[in-house]
Amino acid sequence: MKFQILEDAMQKEARSMRAFLHFQILNMGTGMAINFEEDFFIAVKERPYDAVLEIDDELARRAEFGATWDEGDYEYLLEAYALIKSMLDGELIAVSDRPTAPNVTGDVESDCKKLAGFIENIGGQCKRKAAKARLANLERSMQAKIGTAFAYEFSQGDLDRVQELINELRGLISESDKFEEKHQRRLLMRLERLQSELHKRMSDLDHLWGLVGDAGVAIGKLGKDAKPIIDRVKEITTITWRTQARSEELPSGAPFPQLEDRSSNDAED
């Protein structure tokens, strides 16, 4: 079981890297300002279909508040298209009916319509895939709860402590003035969803391990001020590792993959 999990994780990371490289190549030398924040690329790697839906929602919002497309919309759509195409080419997402790539000419209104059409098409297919994936996750979760499938099981004390730590993280992020508003809102939504999915028996621990990526972004943005966040993420991942090791019957004292806080060293440099 544990070897299959490791193999799946390695394949997922390889797909993520291919998508990232495609995106870099598409944008190389363009000089454009990236509309997507660093933490969004974590979502792209961990929840690619949800990331596409978020782009699709932003596209709908822009279309709702403007009768015509402007230069800001054009830049966003170009980057969104480049990212989604990179995810498709890198096999991070898959669709059954891939639309023809839009032929951009430099005409803002015409190009925006074509780019938006491509993104909406992919978004609609991803929405169906995401719904099926959510149903599959719910089925696994229910099977884990009633004991008919493999599950990671927290002790009640560990579960309560993780919930408490997530509440503390939400408080720290809410009170911080170092995060951009969109980034702050995305982190808080992610933590809220994590809390709603946290149960004593769980079919996977991916979202808990995803906090490591969020901690890395916090270090990059906050430097030494990230320490309270890093400390809580460390404790959560320690509990997660202890639960995973016990559930998968790893040897007692199996080493924990450490999350290193280098914010103080970076600040000194």
- Residue range 125-130: mean pLDDT, rounded: 88
Tokens representing 5 are 């999990």
Q: Please compute the mean of the pLDDT values over residues 176-185 and round it to a whole number.
A: 81
225 versus 255: which is more confidently predicted? 225
Q: What percent of the chain stands above pLDDT 90?
A: 25
d(CA 99, CA 158): 48
Q: Give residue 92's pLDDT band: very low, low, confident or very high (50, 70, 90).
A: confident
144: alpha, beta or left, given left = phi > 0 and alpha = psi -120 to 50? alpha
| Judgement on whether residues 175 and 112 belong to the same structural domain of the protein | no
Domain residues for the domain of 118 are 2-134
Residues 102 and 191 in one domain: no
Same domain, 13 and 106: yes
Q: Is residue 228 part of a domain?
A: yes
Residues 58 and 176 in one domain: no
What distance, in Å, lies between the first and last C-alpha atoms of the chain?
43
Predicted pLDDT of residue 80: 93
Residue 66 domain-assigned? yes
Residues 130, 168 share a domain: no
> Which one-letter DSSP state was computed for residue 202?
E
Q: Examine residue 145 and state whether it is found in any structural domain, yes or no.
A: no
Q: What is the pLDDT of residue 202?
A: 82
Q: How many domains, the chain? A: 2
In a domain, 142, yes or no: no
Highest mean pLDDT among 1-15, 120-134, 238-252: 120-134
- As given in the structure block, the two tokens for residue 75 are 């830049």
The whole-model pTM stands at 0.50
162 with 260, same domain: the answer is yes
- Identify which of 15-19, 91-95, 167-171, 195-199 has the greatest average pLDDT: 167-171
Closest-CA residue to 230 (of 241, 243, 214):
214
